[in-house]
Amino acid sequence: MTQPAAGLKATPLNSAHRKMGAKMVDFGGWDMPVQYSGILEEHHAVRKNVGLFDVSHMGEIEIHGPDALALTDSVTTNAVAKLKIGQAQYSGLLYEHGGFVDDILVHKVSDDHYFICVNASNQEKDFEHIAKANRLNATVDFASDRYAQLAIQGPKGLATLQKLTVTDLAPIQYYHFTDGAVSGTPARIARTGYTGEDGFEIYIAPDQVERIWYEILDAGAEFGIKPCGLGARNTLRLESKMALYGHEIHASITPYEADLAWIVKLDKGDFTGRAALARQKEQGVTRKLVGFEMTGRGIGRDGYEVYLDGAPAGWVSSGGPSPTLSKNIGLCYLPSDRAKPGQPIQIMIRNQPVEAITVPTPFYKRAK
């Protein structure tokens, strides 16, 4: 069968994934590749060489107009005014109560144009949230249909992509981008990613992405490039302690609880959720995200209960094997006074408490 299951959304690369033998799964309503050759092999390819991901399911929202900055700043937690043209910023889109609508990447294209990359399953909700807040002279444009997105990640990502563009990639700094072309097709080329490795994410026209997908695989062949699925994307982001919506963050979690204080700029002026965050900052959080490592035999996974002193005290937001470290790692929520490295905890694995200990994060940091 070469068709996605009924009711699932598909990226423009769906038939390419199927032709190439990817294992497909339902990911938040999208028919996406979870793996090609195997999660471990793909994970190691990204850490050592280069991997290629189809992330076209991600959504895009564009904000234009004289008040584009004011609107973007009023709905996000980070300081949009600090962005220079060609710079990108990780940020939060919050409800009034301080919980996450989504976590997002804000790109400043020009003084009156901001380009926001959002999570696939949140894109309609995000668009409505921003559009509703728009009482200014700005337009909010749901742009997901205009962009496919590929991530070229790993130490050989630059050398791979450089073969297909005249844009000099080396001067593009981390969390910066430029508008250029990849293999003759206009592309927004950003030095961003969700793997903790150097690399690029490119935004291109959906009707060109299949050709470019294959050209990138050809260009990276000499470096051992691997097409990668969402399985490796998850193990890579977990090692680098990057949040995943629905796991580390959701409507009932604030940036302070998620250990994301660095994306909150209370002094930038008012924004949705600011009052709740200011209150929480003053009072202190009651629970906080912290990393852990299994010390007993077993793998603490998403949703498992965490015990302290024999009583339930929190939950695992994401957990699994770390291919790079050959350990079983995870992130969990604990009462904030105990959410510090060195705290022994027990994770309930199939009704059995298994020993673990909290540790500093990120679990993996690339050598610069």
Partner 1 sequence: MYPANFHYTKEHEWVRVEGDVGVVGITDHAQKELGDIVYVDLPKPGTHLDQGKTLGSVESVKAVSDIYAPVSGEVVEVNALLSTAPEKLNEDPHGDAWLVKLKLSAPDEIKRLLSAEDYQNYVGAEEAGH
Residue closer to partner 1 by CB (options 79, 348) is: 348
- CB-CB contact of 113 with 138 (8 Å): no
Q: Least Å distance between CB 299 and partner 1?
A: 6
In this chain, which of 63, 321, 331, 334 binds partner 1, going by CB under 8 A?
321
DSSP secondary structure letter of residue 188: E
- Which residues ranging from 21 to 80 are in contact with partner 1 (CB under 8 A)? 23-24, 34-35, 38-41
Residue closer to partner 1 by CB (options 24, 118) is: 24
Separation between Cα atoms, residue 361 and residue 363, nearest integer Å: 5
- Which residues ranging from 238 to 297 are in contact with partner 1 (CB under 8 A)? 297
Residue closer to partner 1 by CB (options 11, 235) is: 235
Question: Longest C-alpha distance within the chain, in Å?
Answer: 61
How far, CA to CA in Å, does 137 sit from each of 77, 89, 121, 327, 343? Answer: 20, 23, 28, 52, 51
Helix (H) or strand (E) holding 44: helix 39-48
In this chain, which of 49, 91, 235, 358 binds partner 1, going by CB under 8 A?
235
Residue closer to partner 1 by CB (options 19, 82) is: 19
Q: Tell me if residue 42 falls in helix, strand or coil.
A: helix
By the rule CB under 8 A, 6 interacts with partner 1: no
Q: Least Å distance between CB 166 and partner 1?
A: 39
Residue closer to partner 1 by CB (options 251, 299) is: 299
Residue closer to partner 1 by CB (options 186, 303) is: 303
Rg (CA), the chain: 21
Please count the other Cβ atoms lying within 10 Å of the Cβ belonging to residue 270: 10
In this chain, which of 220, 227, 231, 330 binds partner 1, going by CB under 8 A?
231
Site string (300-319) toward partner 1, x via CB under 8 A: -x------------------
Q: Tell me if residue 245 falls in helix, strand or coil.
A: strand
In this chain, which of 8, 131, 159, 299 binds partner 1, going by CB under 8 A?
299
Per DSSP (E only), the strands in 255-336 are: 287-294, 305-308, 311-322, 327-335
Residue closer to partner 1 by CB (options 46, 69) is: 46
State the Cα angle at 259 between 155 and 239, rounded to 5°. 30
Using the contact rule CB under 8 A, the part of the chain among 145-153, 195-203, 228-236, 340-348 near partner 1 is 228-236
Q: Least Å distance between CB 349 and partner 1?
A: 9
Range 161-168, long-range pairs (CB < 8 A, 24+ positions): 161/189, 161/200, 161/202, 161/216, 161/219, 163/219, 164/212, 164/215, 164/216, 164/219, 165/189
Provide the binding-site residues for partner 1, judged by CB under 8 A: 1, 23-24, 34-35, 38-41, 231, 234-235, 297-299, 301, 320-321, 323, 328, 350
